Amino acid sequence: MPIEEIEPKIKVTIRTAVEDDLDKFKGIVSERKIKLFRERFKKNRMCFIALDHKKIAYFGWISFDDEYETIFQIMVRVKDKEAYWFDCHTIPEYRRYGLHSAITAKALIYLKDKGCKKVLTPVMKDNIYSRKAFEKVGFKEKRMVTLIKLFNFKHYIYRDFKGKL
């Protein structure tokens, strides 16, 4: 299935970030997160960004290796010819301009050109905007994961997704 480019509703520059871009994240994310981003660059993770002039409007990360998903507290296993699209964020003042769909589409085109056959991404059930953005670029919801956490005990319930947004 071909992936179509999506034009955002505002003029931005979409490109992959480099480690020298980390200064642009100051005031947008915490210093701890900037340190985490630096570690990701050292591990050859990729970051797609949207820039409004020199200001970050959106970012999203790609990994070709297994990653621990901190929000869902699960290990995401990435196989050969797969990628993991994660830690996507639109800066609040840039929401509702279609940046998430536009950058995700660009990232998917890049990944497909590199031979990637499958892209994984977790989305919170109540994050309707992200779910719709991912659906717009061709993602299909495959399963629901419920985490039950009590003190140090964690239990996951996996179910095939059956439903609509």
Asked if 161 and 88 count as a contact pair (C-beta separation under 8 A), the reply is no
Say whether pLDDT at 9 is over 80: yes
Q: Which residue has the tokens 């892209």?
A: 119
Residue 25's identity, in one-letter code, is F
The pTM for the full model equals: 0.84
Tokens 């034009």 correspond to what residue?
7
CATH code at 13-126: 3.40.630.30
User: What is the pLDDT averaged over residues 88-108?
Assistant: 95
What integer is the mean pLDDT of 93-116? 94
Where do the domains of the chain lie?
13-126
pLDDT in tens, 39-83: 999 999 999 999 999 999 999 999 999 999 887 788 899 999 999
Q: Average pLDDT, whole number, for the chain?
A: 88
Q: pLDDT by residue (tens digit) across 129-149? A: 777 877 877 777 766 667 677
pLDDT at 19: 96
Q: Do residues 104 and 88 lie in contact, with contact meaning Cβ atoms separated by under 8 Å?
A: yes
Q: How many CA atoms lie within 13 A of 149 on its CB side?
A: 8
Tell me the C-alpha distance between 123 and 120, whole Å.
10
